[in-house]
Chains A and B, each alone.
Chain A
Amino acid sequence: MSSAPTTERGTWTEAVRNRLSHTVPEGQVLPDRQPAYVASWIYVFGVLTLAGLFVVIGSGVVLSMGGATWWHTSSLGHFVNSVHLWSVELFFACMVIHLWGKFWMAAWRGHRGLTWVTGVVAFLTSIGAAFTGYLTQSNFSSQWISGEAKDGINSIGVGSWFNVLNPAQMLMWHIVLLPLGVGVIAVMHIVLVRRHGVVPPLGDEEATS
């Protein structure tokens, strides 16, 4: 009776392990050194966006314990709601400045097209998450916004499936589906950045590659 082989069995666990270990070059998951050109404030806005996302999700988790109307009846709920709102504002401001910087340095160069595309999709998904957030304020503002939005949503033929006049459905999109989408895409974006590295300055590709 032969002993079971320990390697090269072609199992799915081995395939997943190999895939994960080759996704990012060794030592680049959390590097402690970066190319000299990264020493610029413009490179800070990507990680500021990520920090903003953490605060958005954290404050959203706390809000979920009190419920969508918590902030109407509690000063603590109002505070957490404000933290959620302003962290979203900073998240978007940092993301747009990050977008401007990456656009003008043509950050899709050097096989980084998918990194750029995942950033675009993360941006668009975040806008959807923000818009459904406006619909879950549980006040006259959200009522007016949903009344206006329904015509646009109906005009593209998805109103019966994505009903902006249904606060419960919009709340679920806001706290489950869209945050999940933003989170997954953000992870993909970061993994791709670590996989391909930070894009070098224009005209400096030869010297740094």
Chain B
Amino acid sequence: MGIAFAAGTYVHWGVVSISLTNLLIIVGMIVIFVLALVIPFPGDHGSPTDGGDS
């Protein structure tokens, strides 16, 4: 029983089998990715491109 606990909880979806921990980490990374796209960057006042190094 202890070994079963140590193995963790797994989520099964068809041929896919993933530990709940890894699934939550991936979901968390996707959430961070989306937040990085939508949250305004500090100091960004919508200034035009300064022609830096592109």
Query: Contacting chain B: which of A14-22, A27-35, A54-62?
Result: A27-35
In the complex, the answer to whether B53 meets A25 with C-beta atoms within 8 Å is: yes
Known interface pairs A36-B47, A41-B41; A101-B52 also in contact (CB < 8 Å): no
In the complex, the answer to whether A35 meets B32 with C-beta atoms within 8 Å is: no
Alpha-carbon distance between A33 and B54 when the two chains are bound, in angstroms: 11
Alpha-carbon distance between A156 and B52 when the two chains are bound, in angstroms: 47
Known interface pairs A41-B35, A42-B37; A36-B54 also in contact (CB < 8 Å): no
Known interface pairs A40-B41, A41-B39, A44-B36; A35-B29 also in contact (CB < 8 Å): no
The total number of A-B Cβ pairs within 8 Å is: 66
B29-54 CB mask vs A (1 if < 8 Å, else 0) is 10011011101010110111111111
Alpha-carbon distance between A99 and B33 when the two chains are bound, in angstroms: 10
Chain A residues closer than 8 Å to B25, beta-carbon distance:
93
Please count how many residues in chain B sit with their CB below 8 Å of the partner chain's CB atoms.
20
Please count how many residues in chain A sit with their CB below 8 Å of the partner chain's CB atoms.
29
Known interface pairs A40-B41, A97-B29; A208-B35 also in contact (CB < 8 Å): no
- The residue in chain B whose Cβ has the minimal distance to the Cβ of A209 is B54
Taking the complex as formed, is A200 at the interface, i.e. its CB lies under 8 A from any CB of chain B? yes
In the complex, the answer to whether A36 meets B41 with C-beta atoms within 8 Å is: no
- The residue in chain A whose Cβ has the minimal distance to the Cβ of B47 is A36
Chain B residues closer than 8 Å to A28, beta-carbon distance:
53
Q: Which of A33, A41, A42, A45 has the most CB of B within 10 A?
A: A41
Which of B29, B32, B33, B44 has a CB less than 8 Å from the CB of A39? B44
- A145 → chain B closest CB, angstroms: 15
In the complex, the answer to whether B53 meets A197 with C-beta atoms within 8 Å is: yes
In the complex, the answer to whether A35 meets B54 with C-beta atoms within 8 Å is: yes
Taking the complex as formed, is A96 at the interface, i.e. its CB lies under 8 A from any CB of chain B? yes
Chain A residues closer than 8 Å to B39, beta-carbon distance:
41
Taking the complex as formed, is A144 at the interface, i.e. its CB lies under 8 A from any CB of chain B? no
- The residue in chain B whose Cβ has the minimal distance to the Cβ of A207 is B49
- A137 → chain B closest CB, angstroms: 16
Alpha-carbon distance between A2 and B37 when the two chains are bound, in angstroms: 65
Known interface pairs A39-B41, A41-B39, A41-B41; A34-B29 also in contact (CB < 8 Å): no
Which of B33, B37, B46, B52 has a CB less than 8 Å from the CB of A34? B52
- The residue in chain B whose Cβ has the minimal distance to the Cβ of A34 is B52
Q: Which residues of B contact A (CB under 8 A)?
A: 25, 29, 32-33, 35-37, 39, 41, 43-44, 46-54
Q: Which 4 A-B pairs have the closest CB atoms?
A: A197-B53, A41-B36, A39-B44, A35-B52
